Every structure is written in C-alpha cells, then in structure tokens.
C-alpha cells in the first residue's frame, strides 16, 4: 500500500502552537482519544499552512495568538483555500474577540488548552468519527439545549452568520424589538456578555455548527 493510501485510512489531527510544551501536551492527550490514529504538530501559522496539503488532517487545532502568521490569519488563509477544512481554535483564556473573528472565518469552535482528556473527547467527537462517550451530552451542551427555545436557537444561528437584529427579524418575520427580547433571554441562559460571547459558547457547546 502506498503511503498516500495508508494515510487516507487514518484520522489525523494537527495541533499548531508556538509553545513546544503546550503543543506536545495537547498532541499527547489528543493522541489517546478514540478515533484518532495519528497526531501531527506545527509550530507556527506558516508551518500549518505548509504542512496542511500533505497531511490533510481531519481536524486542525491552532493557537489563536502566535508570532508571524498567527492562528487567526492562518485560519483565514486556510479556509479561504479549503472551505471544507475542519478547524478549531485553542486558547488559555476565553479570548472573545479572537474567537468571534475565527468563527467568522469558518472555524468550528474552540477548546481550552487546559482541557482534560474527557473534555477534549467530547469537544472533538464530531470531527474524529467516533460517538461521544456515554454521558457526554450533558457535558457537551451544558444543559443549554433543553433551555433554549426553537426561536432563541434561530436567533442565535442568525447571530452566528453575522446578521443584524433587523436582518434576523426580517428573515423570521418578527420585529427588531422581538429579536432583541429573544437575544436578551438567550444571553441570560448562556451566561453570555454579548453576541460574540454567545456565538463562541454556542459553537463550543455544539449548539450550532
């Protein structure tokens, strides 16, 4: 079997971080997850872009902030060329502005760098072809699914697409004031401070994709 055929049978995850220790720890944790058969690393946005075509990972995780071509710019360039690539961001703190920008570029969400193996298993399960661990639904969604109404989810999806309250209202045949009311309610239920925070939390929890 040729190497290209062999790799096609594997579920590869790429981890990009300029801090060697962080990169190695994340690679080691992810490498133990069900469904992951290979983990490769990149130390910069430049290396991520250079290696992606050869590695064709099922999922790429990259740090938000790095010297040179940072994670945000690398994601923007990668998804402009390969819109079907599955990318998630990594961060030590909930960088709301950075995460929101990454989501507008097409990133699927984010994970914390100090996530446990179990938390990573839940967050990455949709991308590595394995069912979630037993009991993971509550952890993955944090109980939010049962609390948000269908209308609130529709408003949240509109926000994730960058639409204004007026645009969401026109699409749902509701007034802008009604959309604002739904927005305030979903912010409260998600414990989100604003739109960007709500969208970031929704992607992270799997409410929207």
CA 145 to chain centre: 18
Residues 115 and 20 in one domain: yes
- Cα–Cα distance, 180 to 86 (Å, whole number): 32
Residues 26 and 127 in one domain: yes
Give the 3-state secondary structure of 43-102: CCHHHHHHHHHHHCCCEEEEECCCCCCCHHHHHHHHHHHCCCCCEEEEECCCCHHHHHHH
Residues 191 and 115 in one domain: no
- Per residue in 44-85, pLDDT (tens digit) is 999 999 999 888 899 999 999 898 888 999 999 999 999 989
Residues 120 and 185 in one domain: no
DSSP state of 36: -
Q: In CATH, what number is assigned to the domain containing residue 157?
A: 1.10.10.10
pTM: 0.62
- Cα–Cα distance, 98 to 133 (Å, whole number): 30
Least confident of 79-88, 100-109, 145-154: 145-154
* Domain C-terminal end among 85, 113, 135: 135
According to the model, what pLDDT value does residue 6 have? 36
Domain count of the fold of the chain: 2
Length of the chain: 209
Residues 103 and 20 in one domain: yes
Residues 111 and 84 in one domain: yes
Residues 94 and 14 in one domain: yes
Checking if the pLDDT of 98 tops 60, the result is yes
* Domain C-terminal end among 80, 113, 135: 135
Helix (H) or strand (E) holding 38: strand 38-42
According to the model, what pLDDT value does residue 48 have? 95
* Domain C-terminal end among 80, 109, 135: 135
Residue ranges making up the domain that contains 61: 3-135
Q: What is the CA radius of gyration of the chain?
A: 18
Taking every pair of Cα atoms in the chain, the longest distance, rounded to a whole number of angstroms, is: 61
- Per residue in 124-144, pLDDT (tens digit) is 877 775 433 333 333 234 434
Question: Predicted confidence band at 94 (pLDDT cuts at 50, 70, 90)?
Answer: low
Bridge partners (DSSP) of residue 62 are: 16, 89
Q: Are 196 and 134 in contact (CB under 8 A)?
A: no
**CB-count burial class (<10 Å; 0-12, 13-18, 19+) for 21:** exposed
Residues 58 and 10 in one domain: yes
Average pLDDT score, the chain: 81
Residues 167 and 113 in one domain: no
Query: For residues 206 and 99, which has the higher predicted lDDT (pLDDT)?
Result: 99
According to the model, what pLDDT value does residue 147 have? 61
Query: For residues 104 and 200, which has the higher predicted lDDT (pLDDT)?
Result: 104
Q: Which two tokens stand for residue 17?
A: 């971080």
Helix (H) or strand (E) holding 22: helix 20-31
Q: In CATH, what number is assigned to the domain containing residue 99?
A: 3.40.50.2300
Residues 151 and 121 in one domain: no
Residues 87 and 179 in one domain: no
Residues 169 and 130 in one domain: no
The total of other beta-carbon atoms located within 10 Å of residue 58's CB is 20
Q: List the beta strands (DSSP E) in 46-172.
A: 59-63, 87-91, 110-112
- Per residue in 148-198, pLDDT (tens digit) is 777 888 898 888 888 899 999 999 998 999 999 989 888 887 878 888 888
According to the model, what pLDDT value does residue 87 have? 93
Question: Predicted confidence band at 108 (pLDDT cuts at 50, 70, 90)?
Answer: confident
């Amino acid at each position: 079997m040729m190497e290209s055929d062999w790799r096609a049978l594997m579920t590869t995850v790429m981890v990009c971080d300029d801090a060697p220790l962080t990169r190695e720890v994340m690679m080691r944790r992810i490498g133990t997850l069900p469904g992951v058969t290979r983990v490769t690393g990149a130390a910069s946005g430049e290396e991520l872009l250079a290696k992606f075509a050869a590695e064709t990972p099922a999922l790429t995780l990259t740090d938000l902030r790095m010297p040179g071509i940072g994670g945000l710019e690398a994601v923007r360039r990668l998804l402009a060329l390969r819109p079907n690539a599955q990318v998630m961001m990594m961060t030590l703190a909930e960088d709301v502005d950075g995460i929101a920008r990454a989501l507008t570029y097409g990133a699927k969400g984010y994970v914390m760098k100090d996530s446990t193996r179990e938390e990573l298993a839940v967050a990455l399960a949709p991308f590595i072809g394995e069912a979630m661990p037993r009991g993971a639904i509550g952890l993955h969604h944090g109980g939010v699914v049962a609390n948000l109404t269908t209308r609130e989810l529709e408003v949240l999806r509109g926000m994730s697409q960058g639409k204004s309250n007026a645009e969401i209202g026109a699409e749902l045949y509701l007034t802008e004031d009604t959309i604002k009311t739904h927005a305030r309610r979903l912010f409260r239920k998600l414990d989100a401070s604003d739109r960007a925070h709500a969208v970031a939390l929704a992607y992270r929890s799997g409410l929207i994709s």
